[in-house]
Structure 1
Amino acid sequence: MKQPGLGGPGVTQCLILMAFCVTGLNSLSATLAQNPTCVDQLVGQSITISCVVKGQSMERLELFWYRKTEKNGSMEFIISAKGSIGKKFYGTKINPGKFTVKNDDLQSKSTLGIKNLGYSDTGTYYCMAGTSMKYTFGDGTILTVVDFLPTTAKPATKKPPCKCKKQKTAKTSPPGVSCSVVIWAPLAGLALMLLIGQYLLASHTYRVYRRTHVYFRKYSPK
């Protein structure tokens, strides 16, 4: 069933707009949470947008869906329904085969379905809940229809070559040996030189002693 949108000449929608402007955005005690808040979808594909009603029973509310596109420039009424079994009303320029709405009273959720997406469907979609002369809007869902979806895969990166030098494993010394040959060789050479020096010094001392002893025996007074 067709129903004029906010931009149309319908008296009902004009009264709704007037009441909405007078009572304010949050005049209704219920709040609306839309999901997703922003989405990209391929051209020709379908998409669903959900609107969860919080703070009030959905059985007493009528749910409306609007959109604002670059082509229209103003809020365009799409579809509305009251409860899960209520009649559905469409905007004057809306194709019933393209848009569907499903209300779930138990989950307090209204779902808008859009088929065969085109570039002209790019825009912001809003759900609105109302009862009597009080209405409130959701935060909106930004839909962008694209030729291809951006990839989320991380680009493959080559592992940089390791610049760290590999540490050489220390060779364990045999039991009882704490120093390597490189340390032992100089020490052994030094010890040998000390022994030779001591031998030479002792030999020289002995010769000096012998000469001195002979000298004193020869020239000492008797």
Structure 2
Amino acid sequence: MTAQTNQTVMLSCEAKTLASHSRIYWLRQRQAPSANSHYEFLAFWDLTKGAVHGKEVEQEKLIVLRDSSRYTLSLQSVKPSDSGVYFCMTVGNPDLTFGKGTQLSVVDVLPTTPQPTKKTTPKKKVFRFPNLVTRKGLSCAPLVVGLLAAVVLVLLVSLGVAIHLHCLQRRARLRLLKQ
């Protein structure tokens, strides 16, 4: 979570089951979790005493609230020094349960989100056929027409010869079978 300097930040923690003698603690870890990092005690909520603050905590700056099973830590007028990971923790008998933790980063100026870039669609290229010149009359030269006619005639003659040879072969087979 990112907040701007002097804003109010609300962090919440929900306890599913809480015995009458249990407490909800709020802790802060200023550095990233490591072997040298430690938890800083901020406050706890006791069902009989209400909110109890840590020794070095400004009570006006940090408010602990309870609403049914939801506990809220309200940080007033946050500063960059308030940045860190905030945890809620329940201490029961014999359980000790930590929440997931909320990363808080306090900055002087909130980062702005960049405007989405508009995708320009390229203009479609239109293919135009060249102007064709049409001529009236015969479109094929007489030589081409003559060649086509000759080829068709040769094919027809070849087909006729093939049919005639097939018939002769068939007759010869029939004569051979009759003998």
Q: Please give the range of the TM-score, normalised by the shorter of the 2 chains.
A: 0.5 to 0.7
The gaps in structure 1 that reach 5 residues or longer are 1-38, 169-181, 195-222
1:58-207 correspondence runs (5 A): 61-70=22-31, 73-83=37-47, 86-105=49-68, 108-157=69-118, 159-162=120-123, 164-166=124-126, 185-186=134-135, 188-190=136-138
1:133: how far off? 3.9
For residues 130 and 149 of structure 1, the distance between their equivalents in structure 2, rounded to whole angstroms, comes to: 36
**Alignment TM-score, normalising by the size of structure 2:** 0.64
**Alignment TM-score, normalising by the size of structure 1:** 0.52
The gaps in structure 2 that reach 5 residues or longer are 143-179
The one-letter amino acid of 1:52's match is: E
Deviation sequence 1:15-58 (CA, Å, 0-9, x none):
xxxxxxxxxxxxxxxxxxxxxxxx0100111100111223x246
For residues 46 and 127 of structure 2, the distance between their equivalents in structure 1, rounded to whole angstroms, comes to: 76
Deviation sequence 1:53-82 (CA, Å, 0-9, x none):
23x246553111010114x95211111113
Name the Cα RMSD after superposition.
Answer: 3.1
- Report if the CA contact (8 A) 2:80-2:108 is conserved: no
Q: Secondary structure at the match of 2:125?
A: coil
Cα–Cα, structure 1 residues 148 and 58, in superposed 2: closer, same or farther, change >3 Å?
A: farther
For residues 73 and 119 of structure 2, the distance between their equivalents in structure 1, rounded to whole angstroms, comes to: 45
- Report if the CA contact (8 A) 1:126-1:141 is conserved: yes
For residues 92 and 152 of structure 1, the distance between their equivalents in structure 2, rounded to whole angstroms, comes to: 39
